[in-house]
Amino acid sequence: MVRLSRSVASTVALSAVCSFVDGHGLNDGLTVKTTHFTVKGTVETNTTNVRVFRRIPYAEPPLGANRFKPPVTKKPELDVLDSTEFGPSCIPINNGQPTPYTEYLPGFLLAPGATTGEDCLSLALWAPREKKEERLPVIIYIPGGGFTGGGANSPYKYGGPIVRDNQDVIVIAINYRVNIFGFPNAASLNQHNLNPGLLDQRKAVEWVYDNVAAFGGDPAKITLWGQSAGGSSVDKYAYAWADDPIVRGLIADSGVASLLGTTSADTSNFTYVASQIGCNQEDADDQFSCVQQKNASEIIKVLNTYNATQNSGKGLTFTPTADNETSWADYTDLRNRGRFARLPLLTGINDNEFATLLPLSPNGPNQTAVDRSTNASMNCPAAAAARSRTEYSIPAWRYRYFGQFPNLNPVEWLGAYHSSELPIIFNTSNLLGPNTDNELATVEYLQGAWLSFVRDPENGLINYGWPLYNETTESLVQLGLEGNPKAVFAPAGKFDETCT
């Protein structure tokens, strides 16, 4: 079994470095030897009890012949790698159009001054400074961004406060390739390995499994958590790696496997981009090689400046493609057949998701459209994901988040918008102003719930007072409802009348 071989590999690696990392290694735990290289971190800003390693490469740079291909295992390095600063985030699409995030909520975006580039396959790791007697559970967080952007260097999603306040968990956030670099769907690929961005995520999980013990983590206690495109990635991961998941629990916020995807039949988007940068070869392999050799700035410029109106209304999108390896076109069929990893699942959505996902309007979007899109794209798929687990006796929990706070709701029409739960769970919500007392109580309760799941995916939330999801009971967990910092339970199908 692959899982056993990984376990053996981790044991061998740990024994090889144990003398080096005893007491968390050199320099009070700030220099750590992994299986292939040594990294130097620092103390997290405004803390004394958290170590942070902001740039740990988990794969080789996906440059040249590696562009659009599966990630390549990181080669050994003799020099100590400086992990004190964030490396580049993966190249995003930026068409210059304003959004609620650019205008009101910049903490959800990449940090000011953050760099982007192709050499982006790295992760950030936050761990306690103090050596622990027992190895700690691990969170691997997959950021969202619509598969068009995003990354680990995003202020509302830094893992430091979770570790600072709990000291019994390690938090990791990963970068992965997005847009055309992560989901090229080029004809030359012949419908195989069409989603290197999803393969990046798997490579990061494998790296953590093999190396997290050197930082004090337990490779047998990893939970995969993601939000939006990251939540979709988490659920897709459960199908892609059903027989070898490595992780032991899944948290999918505001996104499940069916969110954002395309079929593999139409490869014209890649061909169009190729034609715009001078790669007009008739042979698909020659065209592919040509695009691999072009400067990344030329490629992303085509996406950033594309105008659908001038192209007969045809969109130019690159999201996970159904290659039946890492992404599928028919998740209903897979759910019905139970073709997913049998792992505990926590999933849910926010009450007003699409307030920030529809085109920006000064007075806010049409609320009817917000409600319709929230239900169809987020609520009903989450219900199906939770239900499918219960049908196979897998522990599952489902929530709906309603929280609104002054420092997270600068305009009144936002409501419980897409991503608004994240600063509460990460305890980073004070970027735009101080937290209210009720907000602090909500932070404590929600963070406690997420960490109860991470510490014990099978029973942690049961012990926290949350019922297992069941369509016939009051098992929908309402969070932040009418200012209540704790859970209020409702009938499972309270919001599902129009779901089919």
What residues are annotated to the active site?
228, 353, 418
Cα 48 to its chain centre, rounded Å, is 27
Pairing state between β 136-142 and 170-174:
parallel
> Cα–Cα distance between 62 and 196 in angstroms, integer?
10
Are 245 and 238 in contact by the 8 Å Cβ rule? The answer is yes
Amino acid at 41: G
Tokens of 304: 């950033």
Are 87 and 118 in contact by the 8 Å Cβ rule? The answer is no
> Cα–Cα distance between 446 and 461 in angstroms, integer?
11
> Cα–Cα distance between 18 and 22 in angstroms, integer?
6
Cβ-based neighbours of 303, under 8 Å, separated by 6 or more:
93, 95, 179, 180, 273, 316, 318
On the 0-12 / 13-18 / 19+ scale of CB atoms within 10 A, 145 is: buried
Amino acid at 364: G
> Cα–Cα distance between 461 and 395 in angstroms, integer?
10
